[in-house]
Amino acid sequence: MTLRDRRAFLWDMLQAARSIESFVSGKTLDDYQRDDLLRSGVERQFLIIGEALSQATRVFPDLEEQISDASRIIAFRNRLVHGYASVADDVVWAIVQDELLRFGAEVEALLQESTE
């Protein structure tokens, strides 16, 4: 089995974060709650972020210290998958509004460092 390159994991996480940003641009919580497709798209991208981060931290343990709240991000992914019935739209929306930009900036900086 070949190991994925660190940059590949970072790239996947960054692209997923950017997709979420694009999906919610100009939207409100109300829009999010009424739009099944929007919610599905956002949650799918969070699954990608959480799974990529989970796999990446197994191969590159230092990433856990370089990405704020890495363990919480992975736990959120697990909640989306295994506790899907208890996921509250307002919680997902708050994460999008309050934490996604910081996460994207951190991942982008790590990706830049990896290519230098």
- Report the predicted TM-score, pTM, of the whole model to 2 decimal places: 0.94
- How much is the mean pLDDT over the chain? 95
What pLDDT does residue 3 have? 62
Output the pLDDT for position 115.
Answer: 76
Q: Provide the angle, in degrees to the nearest 10, between the axes of the packed helices 89-98 and 100-115.
A: 50
Q: Lowest-confidence range among 2-6, 43-47, 77-81, 99-103?
A: 2-6
Instruction: DSSP for 18-30, please give it.
Output: HHHHHHHTT--HH
Band the pLDDT of 1: cuts 50, 70, 90: very low
Q: What is the pLDDT of residues 43-96, one digit of tens each?
A: 999 999 999 999 999 999 999 999 999 999 999 999 999 998 899 999 999 999
Closest CA to 25 of 111, 89, 101: 101
Residue 116 has pLDDT above 70, yes or no: no
Distance from C-alpha of 38 to C-alpha of 27, rounded to nearest angstrom: 10
Domain locations in the chain as residue ranges: 17-115
